[in-house]
Chains A and B, each alone.
Chain A
Amino acid sequence: MNAKLKLFLKFLGYACAIFVIFGPISSIVLWSLAQKWYWPHLFPQELGLFYWQKVLGGNIMHSLALSFYIAILVTLLTLLFTVPMSYLLARYKIPAKGLILTLFLLPQAFPQLPVFTNAMVLLYRWDLVGTMPGVVLIHLVGALVYSVWTLVSVFRSIPIALEEAAINVGASKLRVFFTIALPNAIPGIIAASLLVFLYSLDEFTGTLLIGSPFITTMPIYMYKTAMGYEMQVAAITALLLMLPGLLLLFLIEKYLKSQYLATFGRG
Chain B
Amino acid sequence: MDISITGLSKSYTTRKKVLSDIDLTFQAGSFTAILGPSGCGKTTLMRCISGFLNVDQGVIRFGDQEVTHLPPQKRGTAMVFQNYALWPHMTVYENIAYGLKIRKYSKQEIEKKILAILETVEIDTQDVKKRYPSQYSGGQQQRIALARALVLEPKLLLLDEPLSNLDAKVRQRLRVEIRKIQKDLGITAVYVTHDQDEALSMADQIVLMNEGKIEQIGSPENIYKHPQSYFAAQFIGTSNSLQVEYRDGAFYIGQQLIYIPQSPPALNKMSYDLVIRSKDARVTQDRELESELLSFQGILRESLFTGSGYRHWLEVERQDIYIESEENIPEKGLCFVQIPREKYFLYSREEAI
Contacts and interface: CB of A to CB of B under 8 A. Distances in A.
Given A170-B103, A175-B102, A265 B73 contact: no
Contacts of A179: 98
Interface in B57-100: 72-74, 77-79, 81-83, 85-89, 98-99
B202 to A, nearest CB: 21
A170 B102 contact: yes
Contacts of B148: 165, 169
A40 B327 CA distance: 97
B73 A165 contact: no
Nearest to A258: B89
B139 to A, nearest CB: 10
Given A162-B87, A165-B85, A169-B152, A263 B73 contact: no
B238 interface: no
B47 to A, nearest CB: 9
Given A164-B85, A170-B103, A266 B73 contact: no
Contact of A260 (B98, B99, B132, B138): B132
Interface residues of B, number: 30
- Give the bracket for the number of chain A residues in contact with chain B: 20 to 34
Contacts of A265: 83
B72 A168 contact: yes
Contacts of A266: 134, 138, 141
B19 to A, nearest CB: 19
B137 to A, nearest CB: 9
A230 to B, nearest CB: 50
Contacts of A262: 134
A180 interface: yes
B132 A171 contact: no
Interface string B160-182: 00000110000000000000000
A48 interface: no
A260 B134 contact: yes
B87 A168 contact: no
Contact of B133 (A166, A168, A171, A263): A263
B52 interface: yes
Interface of B: 50, 52, 72-74, 77-79, 81-83, 85-89, 98-99, 102-103, 132-134, 138, 141, 148-149, 152, 165-166
Given A170-B152, A171-B102, A175-B102, 6 more contacts: A162-B85, A165-B87, A168-B77, A170-B103, A260-B88, A263-B133
